[in-house]
Amino acid sequence: MKSKLFVPGSRPELFAKALASQADALSFDLEDSVSEARKAEAREHLRDFLARASPGVDRFGGKTIIVRVNAIDSPHFEADLAAVVRAGVHLINLPKPRHADDVRAAANALDAAERANGVTEPIGLLLNIESPGALRRAFELATAHPRVKGLQLGLGDLFEPLGIARREIAAIQQAMFALSMAAGEAGVFAYDSAFADIRDQAGFQTEAQLARSLGFIGKSCIHPSQVALANEVFQPTPDEIAHARRVVEAAAEADAAGRGAYVVDGKMIDGPFVARARAIVAQAALNVASGVASTQDREPQP
């Protein structure tokens, strides 16, 4: 899920275009991008779209389908779930969870909506971390219920009320690191925030590269022009893939010889490095199988 494209629920004319995009995931939004007066309308648009999708395992073209509902303490939360908990939805994106009780309540409501709508494949939760308290309690939130699959950083909501500059690199690094550590301890994925300046492609790339270096698996996109940038940044480079393959091959040889540590490309290698290498090789193989960014998966030329 290198890229996740936001799609306002009140803009049904964009739904098919988003499905045709190169985004790995689509995040249909019922919260911030929809005005209060159009909440019910957006729910109906999205319910109709999800219900019309062709049945089958690949009903959305292999994309991860996410719906950002309104906060659990809003008057829209239960109606949102009733409308959008449908077969083919992978994640419900829960904004502004404050405590573990919020997560558990959301999970229970999701369970009830699945039963009511006949959904048999459990839908996960992606939690937005958007306040100082939520960042401090990120591990607690992530482990509040088994439905939680990931934590997503919301830098705008986190920084603006505190007067912290959205582009302050030191603050971004600390917030990313804290969330990545909490997600790692909880065994869930970390996902990066949106970047509001659509025209600043270099700024988007720089922030995405920082997120990738800190263990995030992808970045939110608020405009289709950002999708290709996220896909490029979070795709392993040819050099990384080639090195990972050498590590995996050396690991097999070392295991056969009974060695626990060894050197590849001048670097000492042991268990954690092997696990990372195997993940890179697996991602490269997946990209080749799906035909995505195939030029990235070629061995570097001498």
Query: Taking a C-beta distance cutoff of 8 angstroms, is the pair 31, 71 a contact?
Result: yes
pTM equals 0.86
Determine the Cα–Cα distance for residues 169 and 212; give it in Å rounded to an integer: 15
Sign of CA dihedral 44, 49, 54, 57: negative
Whether residue 26 is predicted with pLDDT greater than 70 in this model: the reply is: yes
Q: How far is CA 253 from the centre of its chain?
A: 35
CB of 127 within 8 A of CB of 94?
yes
The pLDDT value recorded for residue 298 is 33
Between 299 and 101, the more confident residue is 101
Q: Give the pLDDT band of residue 276 (cuts 50, 70, 90).
A: confident
Per-residue CA distances from 111 to 72, 85, 100, 232, 238 (Å): 14, 10, 17, 36, 43
- The reported pLDDT for the residue numbered 273 is 84
3-16 pLDDT, tens per residue? 999 999 999 999 99
Per-residue confidence (pLDDT) for residue 296, from 0 to 100: 39
Region 158-181: what's the mean pLDDT?
Answer: 97
d(CA 205, CA 295) in angstroms, rounded, equals 19
Encode pLDDT of 258-275 as tens digits.
887 789 888 888 888 888
Architecture per CATH, 3-234: Alpha-Beta Barrel (3.20)
Report the pLDDT averaged over residues 94-114.
98
- Between CA 94 and CA 123 the distance in angstroms is 12
Percent of the chain with pLDDT over 70: 93
Could you give the 3-state DSSP secondary structure of residue 5?
A: strand
- pLDDT value of position 111: 98
pLDDT given at position 214: 97
What average pLDDT does this structure show over 199-203? 97
CA distance 93 to 52: 21
- Hey, which residues does 7 pair with through a beta bridge? 28
Q: Given this model, what pLDDT does residue 204 score?
A: 98
Give yes or no for residue 239 having a pLDDT over 50.
Answer: yes
Every domain of the chain and the residues it spans: 3-234, 238-297
pLDDT at 262: 84
Within 8 A by CB and 6+ apart from 6, the residues are 27, 29, 33, 68, 194, 220, 221, 222
Q: What rounded mean pLDDT belongs to the chain?
A: 91
Residue 135 scores a pLDDT above 60: yes
CA distance readout (Å), 49 to 16, 56, 58? 9, 15, 15
Model confidence pLDDT, tens digit, residues 30-68? 999 999 999 999 999 999 999 887 565 567 888 999 999
